[in-house]
Amino acid sequence: MSIRSLPISLLSLPQLQAAFLAIQPRIVRHAEVIFRGQRCQARKDDLIAETVALAWAWFRRLAERGKDARQFPSVLAGYAARAVKSGRRLTGQLKAKDACSERAQILHGFKVERLPTTTRHSFREMYGTDGQQVLDVFEERLHHNLQTPVDEQVAFRCDLPAWMSTRNRRDRRLIRDMAANERTLPLARKYGISPARVSQLRREFHDDWKRFTAGQAEVTTPRPMSA
């Protein structure tokens, strides 16, 4: 008696595998149609493999309930492919709050791309006055701090540009390099000053920032009402 003629519930695991392999080409073709817009071939292969794996898991589950999925392979393939496209995987569901998750990108309508590299832009465009400001703003948006209180973050983002505007152009460049954890000797060579002067300026900038923010706090702190 052939496998096709036997009730699905009577098939052993090797026989179930053979029965699934008979409909697997139709599942693969269906997945290729669903994911035809995927440009990355490796990514497309992964999605097709997930579709086949999910279809096999459902095939076994249906067989345990006495339902023969060999009678509707296209329906099985369609459900499996759409589930994978929505973020379902054999090992579970993709996270909806992870920026790198395809499910999150589909739900919230965004995509993750590579950052622009300096090799695509001229030195003047990247490090000129306007270009550097644009780059700084772009990089600032990528910073995500879950430790600093929100009110302190807002105050810092308001105070820092105001304080930087009180310094000359060279000081602003030097402050950015210091904030990027540049060491004293490389800074001394870059700006043509002694290492001792770099350390001195570091302290001066620190003290000036403290005075500036203290003054801002005095201005913004409301006076207590008299009785």
pLDDT per residue as tens digits for the range 23-45: 899 999 999 998 888 888 888 89
Residue type at position 1: M
- Is 171's pLDDT higher than 60? yes
- Is 212's pLDDT higher than 60? yes
Domain ranges across the chain:
8-96, 148-220
Residue type at position 111: K
- Is 123's pLDDT higher than 60? no
Q: How many helices (H) and strands (E) does the chain have?
A: 10, 2
Report helix angle 169-179 to 195-220, nearest 10: 100
- Which backbone phi and psi does 92 adopt, to 5 degrees? 140, -170
Read off the pLDDT band of 13 (50, 70, 90): confident
pLDDT on residue 25: 92
- Is 220's pLDDT higher than 60? no
- Is 150's pLDDT higher than 80? no
Instruction: Work out the average pLDDT over 49-57.
Output: 92
- Is 222's pLDDT higher than 50? no
Read off the pLDDT band of 137 (50, 70, 90): low
- Is 227's pLDDT higher than 50? no
pLDDT on residue 29: 93
Q: Tokens 């589930």 identify what position?
A: 83
- Is 107's pLDDT higher than 80? no
Residues 153/145, Cβ–Cβ less than 8 Å: yes
Read off the pLDDT band of 168 (50, 70, 90): very high
